[in-house]
């Protein structure tokens, strides 16, 4: 892609060589490794950030790293539901999904959003392929039983929201081996072939676990997980997470994101990072550098 504003003619050749040589240890360290990237927030809706994200994904692939993209689409779903006169409802960060809403979710995620991302990556020089949980029987799901956070005796009915039963990553591995970049919509299927809307953060975390990913990178609309004073918490442990949920610092949509990240860290994913998707080339800043960027989730 041509970006006249990014003309680097003012950068001396020796400086350019130095920049590339600084990246070499990271390229060597992660060559052949899988990285699962949860793509959402502003990074999905701002055209300049979209282009930067696609370029980052393609560059990672070209230097021998295997990116797998899992995307959300909350704002896009909300826009279409409003156009249809339906009001979105959330319980504990999860979208309540009746049959009509499920149709909208499938149309938006597996159609519009997924194909936009595939197109962006292909335009940047990669070879992206869109998948849902049905493809290759990848994501088997069941109806989510949502227990109330305050009263465990209360259970909320959130409709066709899914809980992952199992993930078969063979279709993702087959695509990776042929140099494709998988782009996964978070839709699963049940034992009666019914569709389930699954939280994209949860899908990304489980997929990172079954793929034994080197990193799980979750792009968000904040600088990382923030404390009460608005400062970034660069590292989180299970105990600290419990404290932050208890005092309300972590709430709403951040709850499933943190829970999924922690599960992945406990299940062998070497590094789990929640990073600011509003920063251009956030992926490269995280992967090809040692500076703390966002929040890292530790298993202990």
Specify the pTM: 0.89
Half-sphere exposure of 185 (CA within 13 A, CB side): 29
The pLDDT score that the predictor gives to residue 9 is 63
The answer to whether residue 254 sits within a structural domain is: yes
CATH of the domain at 66: 3.40.1160.10
In the numeric block, the tokens 């896009």 are attached to 76
At 61-104, the pLDDT tens digits run 999 999 999 999 988 898 999 999 988 788 877 788 999 999 99
The answer to whether residue 10 sits within a structural domain is: no
For residue 239, say whether it is annotated as part of any ligand binding site.
no
At 91-150, the pLDDT tens digits run 877 788 999 999 999 999 999 999 999 999 999 999 999 999 999 999 999 999 888 888
- Which residues span the domain enclosing 261? 33-297
For residue 221, say whether it is annotated as part of any ligand binding site.
no
Q: Say how many domains are in the chain.
A: 1
Instruction: Transcribe 63-130 into DSSP letters.
Output: TT-EEEEEE--HHHHHHHHHHTTPPP-EETTEE-B-HHHHHHHHIIIIIIIHHHHHHHHHHTT--EEE
The answer to whether residue 19 sits within a structural domain is: no
Half-sphere exposure of 146 (CA within 13 A, CB side): 21
For residue 73, say whether it is annotated as part of any ligand binding site.
yes
The mean per-residue pLDDT over the stretch 45-54 comes to 92
The answer to whether residue 8 sits within a structural domain is: no
The answer to whether residue 245 sits within a structural domain is: yes
The answer to whether residue 5 sits within a structural domain is: no
In the numeric block, the tokens 């600290």 are attached to 240
The answer to whether residue 135 sits within a structural domain is: yes
How many beta carbons lie within 10 A of that of residue 182, not counting itself?
Answer: 25
The answer to whether residue 235 sits within a structural domain is: yes
For residue 193, say whether it is annotated as part of any ligand binding site.
no
């Amino acid at each position: 892609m041509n970006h006249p504003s990014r003309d680097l003619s003012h950068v001396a050749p020796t400086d350019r060589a130095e920049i590339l040589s600084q990246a070499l240890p990271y390229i060597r360290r992660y060559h052949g490794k899988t990285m699962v990237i949860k793509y959402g927030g502003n990074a999905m809706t701002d055209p300049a950030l979209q282009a930067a994200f696609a370029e980052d994904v393609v560059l990672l692939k070209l230097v021998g790293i295997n990116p797998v993209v899992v995307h959300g689409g909350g704002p896009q779903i909300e826009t279409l539901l409003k156009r249809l006169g339906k009001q979105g409802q959330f319980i504990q960060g999860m979208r309540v999904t009746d049959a009509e809403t499920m149709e909208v979710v499938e149309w938006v995620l597996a159609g519009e959003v997924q194909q936009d991302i595939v197109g962006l990556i292909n335009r940047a020089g990669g070879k992206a392929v869109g998948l849902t949980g049905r493809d290759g029987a990848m994501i088997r799901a069941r109806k989510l039983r949502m227990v109330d956070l305050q009263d465990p005796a209360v259970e909320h009915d959130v409709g066709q929201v899914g809980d992952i039963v199992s993930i078969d990553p063979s279709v993702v591995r087959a695509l990776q081996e042929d140099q494709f970049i998988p782009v996964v919509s978070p839709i699963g299927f049940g034992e009666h072939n019914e569709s389930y809307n699954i939280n994209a953060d949860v899908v990304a975390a489980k997929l990172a676990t079954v793929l034994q990913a080197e990193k799980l990178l979750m792009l968000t609309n904040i600088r990382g997980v923030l404390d009460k004073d608005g400062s970034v918490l660069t590292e989180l442990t299970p105990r600290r997470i419990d404290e932050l949920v208890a005092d309300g610092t972590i709430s709403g949509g951040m709850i499933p994101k943190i829970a999924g990240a922690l599960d992945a860290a406990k299940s062998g994913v070497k590094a789990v990072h929640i990073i600011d998707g509003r920063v251009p080339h956030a992926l490269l800043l995280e992967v090809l550098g040692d500076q703390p960027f966002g929040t890292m989730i530790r298993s202990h």
